Amino acid sequence: MKKIYSLLCFLAILLLLGACSDRLDVEPRQQIPTDVAISTGENVENILTGVYDESSQEESYGGYMQIMADLYGFTDQATWYGTYQEPKEIYNKSIFTDNSFVRDLWLNGYAAINQANLVLENADLVDEDSRDRVKGEAYFLRALNYFDLNRFFSSPDHTLGVPLTLDGIIDIDQNLEIARAPADQVYQQVISDLQKAIELLPESNGARADKYSAEALLARVQLHIGHYEAARDAADDVIEYSGRSLTNTFADAFNNDTNSSEDLFAFQVNSQDGDNVLVVHYASTEFGGRGGDIAVNDAYLNMFGDSDDRGQFFYIGDYGDVLTSKYTNEYANISLIRLAEMYLIRAEANQRLDTEEGATPLEDINTLRARANADLLTEVTLDDILKERQLEMMFEGFLIWDYTRTGRPVGEIPADSPRLSFPIPLREMDANSLLVQNPGYGS
């Protein structure tokens, strides 16, 4: 862990103050000494820009976070044909503790968290007019990273989550070892951060997180941990008051250079800045990919009805395989939270609670199906809603969680199997004597 926090410190203080983002209108900065790195409000806001930048790197939300979540869930829906060994281990549900993709997910997440902690600790330096917004964005980004790290690395019985620290690290000479927190404690911190973000953020905030970005993420978190009433209410509020609307067609929700009408939060990408490795592994060479490392199988294609536009949103790649059309623009923004997900969350929560808050489950599901020109349903069950999640959101990083949170096996692997929890990376185990490894991966 000392090695980790050494990296976090240098990223937060030296490198990321120099990071710039045209999309966020921040001027490039030279590296500055540690003793003045957080001495002004301007520098604190630059660190915040660094949190966005770190979170959007390819190791995290630049694509590998989503790819790993789907590879972990794939059974017969899609196949990994790429040459990279690390994703193959995840696809096979047989991961080694030195898997570099797993290691870098951990490292990148904690780098972003440390920077968010530094922003929150020093937010009083920010001009009063901007202070609430800066704090709200930091709370949102810290919650986002902690939520997904906790999902990937929690022990199968959910007693152990990831190490939880709310302190920014500058002094790397101190003892930085920290034990894993209970998974529930991490989730409660995520909820607390998001509730604060909702209170602090404006309703509109350009390309950055706003109030409804935080509320939409809160709906996702509450659904994941089985708090259905809270998930329903948050999703309903977003649908009713965010001002977002479903795009006219399903295809319009993807491959966009600017946020679409249904994007609640997206990481910005352009030809000068940002990562989008979803295109690298999902697309043919024509669109900037490797030819189609992830091919779609008939088992998934056969889930769609004949009239469903979503069932036609595919093309033939370099090697004759079927590829998803969701990623055909290498400079497209990475849409992390779409309004379509809120309809699915509200539908599922209402179905489980036997309520009709905002709309009936049938109405919400048919709203999405109508957008896709799919045949409308006359009645809906929980299984129908869970199937609709696959039809609507496959290849966007939801699959493994929709299996494990509902207790459904992944193929023949039970939902609580040690094979469905990532190992704590080997380098962290070597550096931090307080860490306990997940079952099935050795001590």
Residue 155 pLDDT more than 80?
Answer: yes
Please report the pLDDT score of residue 205 as a whole number: 97
* Token digits of residue 431: 């550096």
pLDDT at 3: 37
120 compared with 36, residue with greater pLDDT: 120
Q: Does 4 or 140 have the greater pLDDT score?
A: 140
On whether the CB atoms of residues 311 and 304 are closer than 8 A, the answer is yes
How many Å apart are CA 129 and CA 369, to the nearest integer? Answer: 43
For residue 28, is pLDDT > 90? Answer: no
Assess whether pLDDT exceeds 80 at residue 269: yes
Residues 175-185, mean pLDDT to the nearest whole number: 92
Q: Domains of the chain by range and CATH?
A: 2-431 (1.25.40.390)
Percent of the chain with pLDDT over 70: 91
Q: What percentage of the chain reaches a pLDDT higher than 90?
A: 87
Specify the higher pLDDT residue, 7 or 375.
Answer: 375
Tell me how many helices (H) and strands (E) the chain has.
16, 6
Q: How many CA atoms lie within 13 A of 213 on its CB side?
A: 30
Choose between 24 and 411: higher pLDDT: 411
Report yes or no: 158 and 186 within 8 Å, Cβ to Cβ.
no
Residue 314's pLDDT is 98
Pairing of strands 314-316, 263-267: unpaired
For residue 173, the 8-state DSSP code is T
pLDDT at 7: 39
pLDDT of amino acid 172: 65
Going by pLDDT thresholds of 50, 70 and 90, the confidence category of residue 173 is low
The single residue listed with the structure tokens 């609709």 is 388
How far apart CA 80 and CA 149 sit, in angstroms, is 23
Q: Which tokens hold the place of 312?
A: 């036609």
* Predicted local confidence at residue 422, as pLDDT: 98
With vertex at residue 21, the alpha carbon angle to CA 279 and CA 394, rounded to the nearest 5 degrees, is: 30
pLDDT, one tens digit per residue, over 82-121 is 999 999 999 999 999 999 999 999 999 999 999 999 999 9
Q: Are 64 and 101 in contact (CB under 8 A)?
A: yes
Does the CA dihedral 402-407-409-415 come out positive or negative?
A: positive
Q: Residues 143, 150: contact at Cβ < 8 Å?
A: no
Those residues with Cβ within 8 angstroms of residue 177's Cβ, 6 or more apart along the chain or in another chain: 1, 2, 432, 433, 434
The pLDDT of residue 18 is above 70: no
Of 9-18, 72-81, 149-158, give the lowest mean pLDDT range. 9-18
- Distance from C-alpha of 238 to C-alpha of 433, rounded to nearest angstrom: 43
Which residues does residue 335 pair with via DSSP β-bridges, in sequence order?
Answer: 266
Burial (CB < 10 A; 0-12, 13-18, 19+), residue 14, is: middle
Question: What pLDDT is stored for residue 34 in this prediction?
Answer: 53
Report, as an integer, the average pLDDT of 240-258: 97
CB-based burial label for 54 (10 Å; 0-12, 13-18, 19+): buried
CA 269 to chain centre: 16
pLDDT for the residue 169: 85
Report pLDDT for 416: 95
The dihedral over CA atoms of 111, 273, 16, 397, expressed in degrees to the nearest 10, equals -10
pLDDT band at residue 274 under the 50/70/90 scheme: confident
The predicted-structure confidence for 292-332, as pLDDT tens digits, reads as follows 999 999 999 999 999 999 999 999 999 999 999 999 999 99
pLDDT of residue 24: 34
pLDDT at residue 11 in the model: 41
Average pLDDT over residues 338-343: 98
Supply the DSSP symbol for 253. G
User: What are the tokens at 255?
Assistant: 């491959």
| The token pair that represents 266 in the structure block | 């997206």
pLDDT at residue 275, rounded to an integer: 79
The pair of structure tokens assigned to 59 is 């190791």
**pLDDT-based confidence at 38, cuts 50/70/90?**
confident
Mean pLDDT of 341-360: 98
Question: Taking 50 as the threshold, does the pLDDT of residue 358 lie above it?
Answer: yes
Taking residue 377's Cβ as centre, other Cβ atoms within 10 Å add up to 14
- Report d(CA 267, CA 45) in Å as an integer: 18
Q: Is residue 323 within 8 Å of 317, Cβ to Cβ?
A: yes
Four-residue CA torsion sign, 290, 151, 210, 111: negative
pLDDT of 126 reads 96
In whole angstroms, give the CA distance from residue 118 to residue 100: 27
- Report how far Cα 291 is from the mean position of its chain's Cα atoms: 25
pTM of the model: 0.92
Six token digits for residue 427: 């380098």
Judged against a pLDDT cut of 60, whether residue 414 lies above it is answered with yes
Nearest-angstrom CA–CA distance, 351 and 361: 6
How confident is the model at residue 302, as a pLDDT? 98
Going by pLDDT thresholds of 50, 70 and 90, the confidence category of residue 176 is confident
What are the tens digits of pLDDT across the range 42-64? 999 999 999 999 999 999 999 99
> Strands, DSSP E only, in 135-245?
none
In 3-state terms, the chain is what percent helix, strand and coil (to 5)?
Answer: 50, 5, 45
pLDDT tens digits for 364-406?
999 999 999 999 999 999 999 999 999 999 999 999 999 999 9
